[in-house]
Amino acid sequence: MKLIATLFLFAITGICTAQTTITNGGFELWGNTVPAGDTYTEPTNWYSNQSGSSIAALGAETCFKDAAKFHSGLYSVRVETISGPFSTVINGVVTTGVVDAPTLTKTDGYIGTVNFSTATDIRHMSFTGRPDSIVGWYQYTSGGAGEQGKLRAILHTGDYYDPETPTTSHPNPTANKIADALFLTPTSSVSTWTRFSIPFTYVSASAPAYIMINVTSSANQATTVTGSKLWLDDLQVIYSTTNVPNNTIKEQEVAVYSSGQTVHIEFINGNDQQSVFSVFDLSGRTVYTTSLRNNEVFTYTLPGAAPGIYVYQLKNADFCKTGKLVLR
């Protein structure tokens, strides 16, 4: 059922816009079993230390599917900083690239598009758009003083490495950079789902070919503190009208979420034109539709709707947003 919901969501998203989106940014699909035959899994199209280079894979599990704490859908991703083999503290990480550890020294580690142990293992998330910002929802538990969670998104061509500082293990990739965005959590714990929005800083007018997204529960690569946990859900990019030639998307901060059988829509910057909100079941049948205008917060109850996964579309002349809703 989750696969059907995702495929239908991709289809309805295509009706809204042809702009590139983040693959599995809601972390609903989990399919990478690492190592083969084990019970440990990674989000589809995402990776952790367990599928990293040979030394990185020695570390214990740091990336988890969380079915108890999520912003929408059925799951979020949780990364944790833990104590690993050889008394080494291992930073929790989930990434679209490869976790590389050339040596047992933490500061030698990096995330790249190429596996340090197997040069033929190249991991890219295709992405050709030029978005204005990257947004998502998070919770954070700090393991100690100074600890912060981190998300970094890099639009690039060719191969890339984070940190970029050249080492004997990788070259300087900055000539391939198109843009990047960096989000750091507070140093204190955040126990409720909180939205973040970070702009991309562009350094090139060229179109990217890929996006590298690196998420870690400890922003300090050399941390010796364990216990930090970062939850992430509903990661997406936002396009402004200045970056979209056909003006199909208007930059607008809007949150759509459900509780029980009630759907909440919040236009953070207001809504100055008529929008149409529709809910579909997984067969594509419209189960609810309404128009809304000139308000900031809307609440709808869908009585009689069977519990399960639904897909919504919120659309007006300049803006189109789609996503999943879980009614209980």
Residue ranges covered by each domain of the chain: 20-238, 254-327
| CATH code for the part of the protein at 20-238 | 2.60.120.890
Euclidean distance between CA atoms 130 and 240, whole angstroms: 9
Euclidean distance between CA atoms 41 and 31, whole angstroms: 6
Torsion of CA 216, 219, 224, 228, to 10 degrees: -50
Q: Which residue in 103, 100, 102, 119 sits closest to 111, CA to CA?
A: 100
Contact status, residue 278 vs residue 8, Cβ threshold 8 Å: no
Q: pLDDT band at residue 248, thresholds of 50, 70 and 90?
A: very low
Class of the 254-327 domain? mainly beta
Q: What is the pTM of this model?
A: 0.73
Residue 173 confidence (pLDDT): 96
* pLDDT, tens digit (0-9, with 9 covering 90-100), for 250-281: 445 678 888 888 888 887 766 666 788 888 88
Residue reference for tokens 């998070």:
138
* pLDDT, tens digit (0-9, with 9 covering 90-100), for 5-47: 555 555 555 555 446 788 888 888 887 666 555 567 899 899 9
Q: Which residue in 272, 261, 222, 276 sits closest to 110, CA to CA?
A: 222
Q: Which residue in 37, 4, 212 sits closest to 110, CA to CA?
A: 212
In terms of pLDDT, which residue wins out, 122 or 318? Answer: 122
Phi, psi at residue 74, to the nearest 5°?
-115, -15
Q: Is the pLDDT of residue 230 over 60?
A: yes
Specify the DSSP element, H or E, that contains 9: helix 2-16
Q: pLDDT band at residue 128, thresholds of 50, 70 and 90?
A: very high
* pLDDT, tens digit (0-9, with 9 covering 90-100), for 62-118: 999 999 999 887 889 999 999 987 778 999 999 999 999 999 888 899 999 999 999
Q: Is the pLDDT of residue 317 over 70?
A: no
Residue 318 confidence (pLDDT): 64
